[in-house]
Amino acid sequence: QVQLVQSGAEVRKSGSSVKVSCKASGVTFNSFAFSWVRQAPGQGLEWVGGIIPLFGKTNYAQKFQGRVTITADESASTVYMHLSSLTSDDTAVYYCAREASIWRWGQGTPVTVSS
């Protein structure tokens, strides 16, 4: 059974950065792509970026280019999302998801950015 377990809630100051992790189990880690998606309070779902660990290839939404870095550690079956230059607009729940015909999602990590 595929399971994605994300790191816990984070509180950051404006201008700082945050790194969220997502550990996968029950899946052959390098066989899939992973995405990060966020939902800000009262807003819709927004794709942040993704990684294909087998090739080390990343793709980012234009909006986050230059501020987000997604990495993968095959030995730990874990993907990471690092987001820098945080503002209050980055306050959101961040989800990781394993892509396949059926996407599997993590439980979400709330990130709160205060000024």
Partner 1 sequence: AIQMTQSPSSLSASIGDRVSITCRASQDIRNDLAWYQLKPGKAPELLIYGASNLQGGVPSRFSGAGSGTDFTLTITSLQPEDFASYYCLQDHTYPRTFGQGTKVEVK
How far is Cα 69 from Cα 46, in angstroms, rounded to an integer?
16
31 binds partner 1 (CB under 8 A): no
Minimum separation from the CB atom of position 101 to partner 1 (A): 6
Closer residue to partner 1, CB minimum distance, 97 or 113? 97
Q: How far is the CB of 76 from partner 1 (least distance, A)?
A: 22
The dihedral over CA atoms of 54, 107, 46, 81, expressed in degrees to the nearest 10, equals -50
Please identify, using beta-carbon distances, which residue of 69 and 103 lies nearer to partner 1.
Answer: 103
**Nearer to partner 1 (CB atom), residue 3 or residue 75:** 3
Strand segments (E) across the chain: 3-6, 10-13, 18-25, 34-39, 45-52, 57-60, 68-73, 78-83, 92-98, 104-105, 109-114
- Chain residues in the site for partner 1 (CB under 8 A): 35, 37, 39, 44-47, 49-50, 59-62, 95, 99, 101-103, 105-108
